[in-house]
Amino acid sequence: MSKRDLKKYLTELSKEQLEEQIIELYEKFSDVKVYYDFAFNPNEDKLVREAKFKISNEYFPVKGKKAKMRRSVAQKFIKHFISLGVDSFIIADLMLYNIEIAQTFSAERVVKQELFFKSMLTSYQQAVSFMIEKGILTDFQSRVVAVKEESINQQWVNFYGFVAVVERLEY
């Protein structure tokens, strides 16, 4: 069904029929429930605190002994926040937080997995691209540069990638 067909169908329904369909969607699909829960009670601070806790738990676990260091955990939150329409500043903050907590971990423990460094560079590139797209890069410039500097200080195997991202911004 195309969007046009859907609009036509919806205009033919009465208010009560529309309400019934929305309630049915709300009860049937968890994504719809999450969307409406957020739309009517956008407690972004709580969502961000929970996300940051779960991201930091990937590197500094509260329970258990070994850090999992999964980039996918942060990516799920970022994607979820984008789909909910959370403010771009909050999303950019979360993107940078993910990299910063990974660098904090890397400063304390030796990381040998090359995939870790590759995924952090990918996250960094995505964060900078997102900030450029949303026109908010200048608000995060100091943190972007600090992440690059930290990759150099810790001698990450791909620090040159971080340097290249920042150099492209200067032109």
Q: Which residues contact 147 (CB under 8 A, 6 or more apart)?
A: 96, 99, 100, 103, 124, 162
Cβ-contact 101, 59 below 8 angstroms: yes
Percent of the chain with pLDDT over 90: 57
Average pLDDT, the chain: 91
Higher-pLDDT residue of 39 and 161 is 161
Q: How large is the greatest C-alpha to C-alpha distance in the chain, in angstroms?
A: 64
Percent of the chain with pLDDT over 70: 99
Q: What CA–CA distance (Å, rounded) separates 59 from 107? A: 12
Residue pLDDT, tens place only, 78-135: 998 998 888 999 999 999 999 999 999 999 998 889 999 999 999 999 999 999 999 9
Backbone angles phi, psi at 86, to 5 degrees: -65, 150
Whether 42 has a pLDDT exceeding 80, the answer reads no
The ranges assigned to domains in the chain are 1-41, 42-169
Identify the pLDDT of residue 171: 58
Instruction: Tell me the Cα Rg of the chain.
Output: 20
